[in-house]
Each structure stands twice: as C-alpha cells, then as structure tokens.
Amino acid sequence: MIYPTLKTLMTKVDSKYTLVVAVAKRARQLISGASLPLVDEEDAVDRPVSTAIREIVADKVTYEHVKK
C-alpha cells in the first residue's frame, strides 16, 4: 500500500495540480542542497520526491497562492 494515500494528501492542498507543483518544487530544493529535509528520513535511500511528500503530510511545507 502506498503511504501516504492520495486522500490524505488532498487534505493538505486544494487541488492535485497544487500538490504536484509543491512536491516538485520542494524536491528540487532538496536535490540542489538548498535545504535539509524537515522530517526524519526513515530510510537513507529515500528519494527527494518521497521526502517532499512526507514533509507536506507532516505540515512542514506549505504553499501560498500568489495573485497576479
């Protein structure tokens, strides 16, 4: 079973598009080394996308819509 479920993730954001953008942006930050993971890494081989998803579920990463 996949954890966290999509249903759980959708309680943290307003749309699937927002979820994808937030996860991708945070994963790029982790890859570039601009920031350390905000949650304990359960497995040393965790991919940046998995870490980003766990950070969103833990409310360590949030987003803000910018009006143009």
What pLDDT, on a 0 to 100 scale, did the predictor assign at position 67?
84
Q: Residue 39 carries which side chain, given as an amino acid letter? A: V
Question: Which 3 state secondary structure label does DSSP give 38?
Answer: coil
| Span 42-61, pLDDT tens digits | 655 678 898 899 999 999 98
Of all residues in the chain, what percent are helix, strand and coil, respectively (each to 5)?
45, 0, 55
What is the fold, at CATH topology level, of the domain defined by 6-57? Eukaryotic RPB6 RNA polymerase subunit (3.90.940)
What pLDDT, on a 0 to 100 scale, did the predictor assign at position 32?
94
pLDDT in tens, the chain (68 residues): 467 888 999 999 999 999 999 999 999 999 998 888 888 766 556 788 988 999 999 999 888 888 87
Domain ranges of the chain: 6-57
